Amino acid sequence: MSNIATKKHEPLFHIVKRNAIPWWKAWIVRAISILLAVVVCSFVTILLTKQNPVLVWGAMFKGAFGTERIVWRLFRDISLLLCVSLAVTPAFKMRFWNCGAEGQVLMGCLATFATVRFLGGTVSEPLLLVISLAAALIAGAVWGLIPAVFYAFFKTNETLFTLMMNYVAKGLITLSIIYFQWENTFGSQIVSPLRIGRLPKVYNDHLVIILTVALITLFMYIYLNYTKQGYEISVVGESENTANYIGINVKNVVIRTMLISGAICGLAGFLLVSGKDGTVSPDTADGRGFTAIMVSWLAKFNPIYMIITSFLLVFFQFGSKEITRSFRLNDDFSEILTGIVIFFIIGSEFFINYQIKMRKLTKEGK
Amino acid sequence: MDNTYAIELKNISKRFGTVLANNNVNLSVKRGEIMAILGENGSGKTTLMNMISGIYYPDEGQIFVNGEEVTITSPKDAFNYSIGMIHQHFKLVDVFSATENIVLGINDGKRYKLSEARRQVLEITEKYGFDISPDKKIYEMSVSEKQTVEIIKVLYRGADILILDEPTAVLTPQEIDKLFAVLRRMRDDGKSIIIITHKMNEVLSLSDRVAVLRKGEHIATVETASTSVSELTELMVGKKISLNINRTDPHDTSDRLVVSNISSVNSEGVTVLDKVSFTARSGEILGIAGIAGSGQKELLEAIAGLQPLTEGEIKYNSPEGESFNLRKRTPEQIRELGVRLSFVPEDRLGMGLVGSMDIIDNMMLRSYKKGHSIFLNRKSPKKLAEEIVDELEVATPDVKTPVRKLSGGNVQKVLVGREIAAKPKVLMAAYPVRGLDINSSYTIYNLLNEQKDNGVAVIFVGEDLDVLLDLCDRIIVIASGKITGEVDGRHATKEEVGVMMTGNTQKEAN
């Protein structure tokens, strides 16, 4: 038998697909992965910066929840990110990989700013708000429509197309700033904030944004789950063959969905300019168009879960900024920490879907 | 220990999640023996064979090759123990010749020399009587020739134990005879052959012994010479069942669907339908026979408005006496005309149903557009789902289970149930029993017969000629996109249809 034993090379472990696991177990796996991420982040902090990780985590919380003002700003930023994430979600559910949210948001920003600049003073303040909102929605929708039309009629690759449209949008903003002479001093590329056409204050600067996005979240949840159009999106996303078989016009659905996706991006642009910055630059969207992709994916395209994922990402953004400031660390360090956490969250999905079976040690004894 | 088995499995178990695919299976195959593995779909035949060929790794149990315990963790390991498997789906490079495909991936340290390989391939073909040219390119080959290349491929690698997974599914009766002759010659040469199948007559004509699996367990191994169809069926299903299709005589027939001279090309510019004409009558089951991929799919999709045509017309005569041409109309337009056309496509989860959606939402596919509300109405689909689960005995925890999680037979019941619930005038079904167990298959045949008796024009695309001849009133035969003949289901023979399936027209055949 000894000679057979040496021939055996049973693998140390093999991977087995799990059947469905109860939702609470899945959340335990996710919670453990976040805890592990915190532990790894702490070690990385010690190794790279020689700082006390407890202090670093403390600073992180201070950065996100330190004062009432910070908490309001935290929730405002969560809302803005959530808004863009909600915008990309219907497209993603349709398996249309819209990577152009950044550009669609920027077009909303540009439209808002331009409307206020050109119409400001000629119409009443509420009308100005309505017109600039409409302009933002249309601009975002058009930016979403162009790649959708090319996808529907010429089968162009939507990922590359939408990605390229981002650069066009950035270029358009730079061009407008120079061409319409919006700069406050020539050549500075800095545009002073608008004084008119701003969102009204309710309680404080942020509440209107937060409430608007809450409404959009509810709308998107109902739209995706309880309307005929939402149902068509799911069918097209699952299988174009089934959609054709059942008589859904796939081209129409793609174009309609991208109009909605783009318009909500445009709304996010309006909120950014009219409710937050008051000004416009190629960096106004601040990468939200790309972070939104992550928010949407991590939440598995569920608008309600997206509240949690956008919270997580914005919390880390705020916290990391604070540690960078209080420990005089390089900006990149906070990105490393965020990266580790996201890695662990995504990795946890593997353990939710699969389990690892170790070699049985008793067999070796034979 | 002279009498060692070529391969022996002891207490093999394999689990996928909570599903026990194989439970304590014991199996042994001698040298120079053809062993048939018989079992319904989902009984664990393929899983078991995949563990021998290194695709899966067993959770428990031992495998012995020539009396020695072995561990097989990859197909490469399997080859080292002279085990080769011929899968249902071929893995060949289209633009390479037979020989090139056969030597592809061999790394024996020797210099690559095509002429030497060609000589060896010829040696193998002569020895076992394969009918193939080593220089023919794969894209010029028929399905049966491609299968031959796959078999030579494993022989070239020195396999002594050959496993064939449902090798006859894609072959005509004549090709099956040829394959069996080759397999017998290999057996006489001392090779061990394991053949997975669910066709009873093949088991009886070819094998020496039969191992029957049911629900992952090894039920029995019997000598083929001393068994019968009814015994094997009973072992396979676990109870006695009658295998009779009750074919009634058609009554009140009228021409419901008249297809004349339709042609179509696919996206690569290849003609897939070539001047096809036939008539489907109400109260009749029209069978379409042919080798898989001869244009059956395109034909049904053309009628359903999914396959563009280059010529011809598809005329629908409603029971009320109106006529419409369905050509150049989308499925939506066809529905708006009031044409009640139901279609059970071949690709159930990729076309007929949405796998990730539950039974209710899948019921809704046909009806969700009804009404002017922008919101979905899930009430009536839910009722329909519950009715279908109840009447067709769909095994599911509840109607909110994603259909992907159901077994093949239950998926098909959901799909057929939905299509019949639409009260069709024309019902098209492509391979509706593929992958189904015997009981579910007969449920489907009965449903089709019921529809026929209700005056529906049923079009049935099938692969099992025995069933086609038992079920259909008329059978048309399609080969490479052309209709090669039409026969009466009550009088035609399998051989007659088989000859037409290879492209010989009815006249040539007679």
- Per-residue pLDDT tens digits for B387-416: 999 988 888 888 998 998 887 778 989 999
> Is A245 within 8 Å of B351 when comparing Cβ atoms?
yes
Region B255-340+423-509: CATH code: 3.40.50.300
For residue B234, what pLDDT is reported?
A: 85
Q: Which residue has the higher pLDDT, B88 or B145?
A: B145
Q: Which of A4, A20, A242 sits opposite B68 (nearest CB)?
A: A4
Instruction: Indicate which of A25, A245, A249, A360 best probes the interface with B, i.e. most B CBs within 10 Å of its own CB.
Output: A245
The answer to whether A49 faces chain B, any CB pair under 8 Å, is no
Q: Are A152 and A124 spatial neighbours (Cβ–Cβ below 8 Å)?
A: no
A159 touches chain B (CB under 8 A): no
By Cβ distance, the residue of A8, A228, A245 closest to B368 is A228
Please tell me which residue of chain B has the smallest CA distance to A20.
Answer: B17
C-alpha B184: how far from its chain's center? 24
CATH of the domain at A232: 1.10.3470
User: Would you identify the CATH topology of the domain B7-237?
Assistant: Rossmann fold (3.40.50)
Q: Is B464 exposed, middle or buried (0-12, 13-18, 19+ CB in 10 A)?
A: middle
Q: B153-176: string of b/e by CB count within 10 Å (b at 16+)? A: bbbbbebbbbbbbbbbbbbbeebb
Query: Do the Cβ atoms of B19 and A19 come within 8 Å?
Result: yes
| A247·B304 Cβ contact <8 A | no
How many structural domains compose chain A?
Answer: 1
Asked if the C-beta of B329 comes within 8 angstroms of chain A's C-beta atoms, the answer is no
Taking the Cβ of residue A239 and every Cβ of chain B, the question of whether any pair is shorter than 8 Å is answered with yes
Record: contact A239-B350, CB cut-off 8 A = yes
Size of interface A-B (CB pairs under 8 A): 85
Q: For residue A98, what are the contacts with CB-CB under 8 A and spacing of at least 6?
A: A88, A91, A92, A144, A147, A158, A162, A258, A261
pLDDT reported for residue B1 = 40
A18 interface with B at CB cutoff 8 Å = yes
Q: Tell me whether residue A348 is in a domain.
A: no
Q: Which residue has the tokens 């012995």?
A: B64
Q: Quick check: is A343 in a domain? A: no
Q: Scanning every residue of chain B, which has its alpha carbon at the shortest distance from the alpha carbon of A15?
A: B57
Give the helix ranges, DSSP H, for B157-228: 173-188, 200-206
The 3-class secondary structure across B255-321, one letter per residue, is EEEEEEEEEEECCCCCEEEEEEEEEEECCEEEEEECCCCCCHHHHHHHHHCCCCCCEEEEEEECCCC
Residue A31 covered by a domain: no
CB contact under 8 A, B364 and A231: yes
Q: Residue B2 — very low, low, confident or very high, per pLDDT cuts 50/70/90?
A: very low
ipTM over 0.85: no
Beta strands B255-265 and B68-70: pairing type?
unpaired
Whether B150 and B86 have beta carbons less than 8 Å apart is answered as yes
Measured between its terminal Cα atoms, the distance across chain A in Å is 9
Select from A222, A221, A243 the least CA-distant residue to A232.
Answer: A243
Interface touch B331/A245, C-beta < 8 Å: yes
User: What percentage of residues in chain A have a pLDDT greater than 90?
Assistant: 59
Neighbours of A271 (CB within 10 A): 29
pTM check: above 0.90: no
Q: Taking CB atoms and an 8 Å limit, are B17 and A19 in contact across chains?
A: yes
Cβ contacts of B15 on chain A, cutoff 8 Å:
16
Residues in chain A with CB shorter than 8 Å from the CB of B428 are none
What is the per-residue pLDDT for A191? 87
Q: Which of A260, A219, A255, A273 is nearest to A108 (CA)?
A: A273
Q: Is the pLDDT of residue B3 over 70?
A: no
Find the residue in B nearest to A21 (Cα).
Answer: B17
Q: Is B306 on the interface with A (CB under 8 A)?
A: yes
How do beta strands B192-197 and B161-165 pair? parallel
Cβ contact A249–B330 (<8 Å): yes
Task: State the DSSP H helix or E strand holding residue B219, giving kind and residue range, or none if neither.
Answer: strand B217-223
Mean pLDDT of B482-507: 86
Give yes or no for B267 touching A (CB within 8 A): no
- pLDDT of A304 reads 94
Q: Is A43 domain-assigned?
A: no
The reply to whether B255-340+423-509 shares the fold of B7-237 is yes
CB contact under 8 A, A227 and B375: yes
Q: What are phi and psi of B402, to 5 degrees?
A: -60, 135
Query: Using one digit for the tens of pLDDT, what is the confidence trace for B476-492?
Result: 999 989 999 999 999 99
Q: Report strand pairing: B482-488 vs B33-38.
A: unpaired
How many of the other CB atoms lie within 10 Å of CB of B152?
22
Q: Where are the domains positioned within chain B? A: 7-237, 255-340+423-509, 355-422
Following DSSP, what letter does each residue of B129-165 receive, concatenated?
Answer: T----TT-BGGGS-HHHHHHHHHHHHHHTT-SEEEEE
- Per-residue pLDDT tens for A96-129? 999 999 999 999 999 999 999 999 889 999 999 9
Query: How far, in Å, are A151, A226, A241, B143, B355 from residue A249 at the CA level?
Result: 14, 20, 11, 36, 20
Q: Which chain B residues are Cβ-neighbours of A4 within 8 angstroms?
A: 68-69
Residues B446-485: tens digit of each pLDDT = 999 999 999 999 999 998 888 899 999 999 999 989 999 9
B18 neighbourhood in chain A, CB within 8 Å = 19
CA B128 to chain centre: 27
- DSSP state letters, A7-59: H----SEEEEE-----HHHHHHHHHHHHHHHHHHHHHHHHHHH---HHHHHHH
B402 and A CB contact within 8 Å? no
Q: What pLDDT shows up at residue B508?
A: 59
- Mark yes or no for CB contact A239/B59 under 8 Å: no
- Residue A328 in contact with partner chain B when CB distance is under 8 A: no
Q: What is the DSSP letter of B88?
A: S
Q: Which of B59, B366, B376 is nearest residue A246 as measured by Cβ atoms?
A: B366
Contact map slice: A 331-360 vs B, CB within 8 A:
357
Q: Is A9 on the interface with B (CB under 8 A)?
A: yes
pLDDT band, residue B509 (cuts 50/70/90): low
Q: B376, A235: Cβ pair inside 8 Å? A: no
Q: Does residue A131 fall inside a structural domain?
A: yes
- Dist CA A28 CA A16 (whole Å): 19
Please, how many CA atoms are within 13 Å of residue A356, restricted to the half-sphere of its CB? 6
Strands of B323-325's sheet in order across? B271-281, B255-265, B311-317, B323-325
- Taking the Cβ of residue A283 and every Cβ of chain B, the question of whether any pair is shorter than 8 Å is answered with no
Structure-token pair, residue B336: 């708006």
Distance CA B456, CA B228 (A): 37
- For residue B348, the chain A residue with the least C-alpha distance is A242
- For residue A324 the two structure tokens come to 């960078």
Length of chain B: 510
Of B19, B73, B345, the CB nearest to A245: B345
Contact A19 B330 (CB under 8 A): no
Strands B60-65 and B7-16 come out as antiparallel
Long-range contacts from B472-476, C-beta under 8 angstroms, 24+ separation? B472/B285, B472/B286, B472/B287, B473/B247, B473/B250, B473/B284, B473/B285, B473/B286, B474/B284, B474/B286, B474/B287, B475/B286, B475/B287, B475/B288, B475/B289, B476/B278, B476/B286, B476/B287, B476/B288, B476/B289
| Chain B residues lying within 8 Å of A246, measured CB to CB | 331, 365-366
B58 touches chain A (CB under 8 A): no
Task: For residues B305 and A247, give the distance between their C-alpha atoms in angstroms, rounded to a whole number.
Answer: 9
Q: CA angle at residue A305 from A291 to A26, to 5 degrees?
A: 110
The verdict on a CB contact (< 8 Å) between A245 and B356 is no
Dump pLDDT digits (tens) for B180-222.
999 999 999 999 999 988 778 888 889 999 999 988 899 999 9
pLDDT score at A131: 96
Q: Give the B window 343-362 contacts with A, CB below 8 Å.
A: 343, 345, 347, 350-357, 361
Q: Are B484 and B477 in contact (CB under 8 A)?
A: yes
Whether pLDDT at B241 is above 80: no
Segments in chain A below pLDDT 50:
1-8, 362-366
The mean pLDDT value of chain B amounts to 88
In what helix (H) or strand (E) does residue B69 lie, and over which residues does it extend?
strand B68-70
In angstroms, the separation between the Cα of residue A224 and the nearest Cα of chain B is: 10
Helix A250-270 × helix A228-238 angle, to 10°: 110
- In a mutational test of the A interface, the residue from B342, B374, B400 whose CB has the highest number of chain A CBs within 10 Å is B374
Q: Which residues of A touch B347 (CB under 8 A)?
A: 241
Q: Where are the alpha helices (DSSP H) in A180-227?
A: 207-226
The structure tokens listed for A90 are 């219907």
Give the per-residue pLDDT at A19.
Answer: 67
Does the beta carbon of A4 lie under 8 angstroms from any beta carbon of chain B? yes
Mean of per-residue pLDDT scores for chain A = 88
Dig out the tokens for B350 from the structure.
């990729």
Q: How far apart are CA B222 and CA B38, in angstroms?
A: 11
Closest CA to B141 of B170, B174, B184: B170
Indicate the pLDDT class of residue B243, thresholds 50, 70 and 90: low
